[in-house]
Structure 1
Amino acid sequence: MKLLLTSAGVKNASIRTTLVDLLGKRIEECTALCVPTAAYAMSGGPGAAWRQISGRASTPMSDLGWKSLGVLELTALPSLDADLWVPLVQETDALLVGGGDALYLAHWMRESGLADLFPSLRDTVYLGVSGGSMAMAPQVGEEFVGWKPPAGGDAGLGVVDFAMFPHLDHPDLPENSMADAEQWAAALSVPGYALDDQTALTVVDGAVDVISEGNWRLFTP
């Protein structure tokens, strides 16, 4: 997969241009599936999931002008035959993975079988927002443990080899200051990126690039 890991979606022209470059064609020519699962493990989750799907969230994702948009609810997939959803995932251009609880999302990516498909989705663009980005990391950090996995801990999927601290210096999140990011990073066993809402990371063939019209910082263990 080609990863576009954002703090708050496609918030500026630089991130949108990068998305188009990763897709290799105009957004209006591309199909997408919205994955709202992470939202359900947080307070007000059903409303947040609806806003993600309908494009009414403050994190632009579903409302970018896709040719077609479907919903992939991970908690439903274990009860379905694979041929009802796997071909659809394989054929879609982009997975739009919304924010919420990163560990809950990582759990259901494993349980649903979606994570098993990732290595084969060579041309698919994964657009992560907040928790949807953090779930791809080896760990999220104790500060971001809300829903607790059956095995405990703070392990994500480990698709990338770094962690992410989203919404850096957000005016409505006083606990997301740079000082808080430094404390978060100090406890990590992997590098960590602190990203504000105008910043995103791309990961293509293992190479990481920063796209930013704002503020960010890389911490190393």
Structure 2
Amino acid sequence: MKLLLTSAGISNATIRRSLEDLLGKPIGEADALCIPTAQYGHPWLGPGTSAWEFISGRSEHPMVDLGWRSVGVLELTALPSIDDERWKPLVGETDVLLAAGGDALYLGHWMRESGLAAMLPALADTVWVGMSAGSMVMTPQIGAEFVGWTAPSGDDRALGVVDFSICPHLTLDGAPGNSLAAAEQWAAALDHPAYAIDDQTAIRVADGEVRVVTEGVWRHFPKG
């Protein structure tokens, strides 16, 4: 699987170009499935307006409204109640999975429970585009500062698809978000590398290469 791990979606032309490069074709020729699940676990989002805005492409963060050839909805909480043949072929045939922000541990839990997490290694040509929690879910752990919903394990472990953690919504000017000082404190508690990225930055992972794609600011925190 190829990853484009963003803080706030496809927020600028540089990130959009990187997405099309990962897809190997224009966005208008690609089919997408959007995953709103993370929103339901977050106390500021939850079911209702935010989930509808994401699915309908009316969110302030560009994801669903990029001009895809087709867009469907993959609601992970529903998948355990339906037969695998109803949804697994659909996932295997789609070009890109668009994961909303919200609560990363809630998303990780339902990725495991639904069986989507187990499918990831087989989706070699699929692009995962995460926004905030949709990006953090792919990391080894999210850090205590980002724990909201309590996972059955009781810890902050995510899926570990990549070997670094992500602090999204970095801000250096006192605007709402995560300050550099807060990001440094967060990273110091981790035992693996980490990145703090602002809303104009993404981390691209493909063929074993990790690359920062940005028109904004970011920081890398090496292991230890």
The two structures share one fold, judged by TM-score above 0.5: yes
Q: Distance in 2 between matches of 1:18 and 1:99?
A: 20
1:166 is aligned to 168
Deviation readout 1:81-104 (Å, 9 max, x if unpaired): 000000000000000001000000
Is the partner of 1:62 in helix, strand or coil? Answer: coil
Q: How does 1:118-157 map to 2 (within 5 A)?
A: 118-157=120-159
Is the partner of 1:202 in helix, strand or coil? Answer: strand
- Stretch moving more, 161-170 or 93-102: 161-170
Q: Distance in 2 between matches of 1:165 and 1:63?
A: 25
Unaligned stretches of 5+ residues in structure 1: none
Measured on the aligned residues, the alpha-carbon RMSD in Å equals 1.0
**Ranges of 4+ aligned residues in structure 1 off by more than 2 Å:** 170-174
Q: Distance in 2 between matches of 1:172 and 1:57?
A: 20
2:4 is aligned to 4
Deviation readout 1:88-128 (Å, 9 max, x if unpaired): 00000000001000000001000000001100001001000
1:190 CA drift (Å)? 1.2
Q: How does 1:135-214 map to 2 (within 5 A)?
A: 135-169=137-171, 173-174=176-177, 176-214=178-216
Q: Give me the TM-score of the superposition, normalised by structure 2.
A: 0.96
Q: 1:54–1:172: structure 2 CA closer, same or farther, 3 Å change rule?
A: farther
Is the 8 Å Cα contact of residues 57 and 65 (structure 2) preserved in structure 1? yes
1:39 is aligned to 39
Correspondence 1:24 to 2:31: no
Is the partner of 1:103 in helix, strand or coil? Answer: helix
Is the 8 Å Cα contact of residues 40 and 102 (structure 2) preserved in structure 1? yes
Is the partner of 1:45 in helix, strand or coil? Answer: coil
Q: How does 1:60-79 map to 2 (within 5 A)?
A: 60-79=62-81
Q: Report sequence identity in percent.
A: 63
Q: Give me the TM-score of the superposition, normalised by structure 1.
A: 0.97
1:44 CA drift (Å)? 3.2
Q: Distance in 1 between matches of 2:54 and 2:191?
A: 32
Q: Tell me the matched-pair count.
A: 220
2:21 maps to amino acid: D
Q: Distance in 2 between matches of 1:111 and 1:84?
A: 16
1:107 is aligned to 109
1:40 maps to amino acid: Y
2:22 maps to amino acid: L
Deviation readout 1:145-195 (Å, 9 max, x if unpaired): 000101111000000000000000186525x10000000000011111000
Q: 1:172–1:147: structure 2 CA closer, same or farther, 3 Å change rule?
A: farther
Deviation readout 1:131-153 (Å, 9 max, x if unpaired): 00000000000000000101111
Q: Distance in 2 between matches of 1:99 and 1:92?
A: 20
Correspondence 1:216 to 2:218: yes
Q: Distance in 2 between matches of 1:189 and 1:135?
A: 17
Q: 1:38–1:92: structure 2 CA closer, same or farther, 3 Å change rule?
A: same
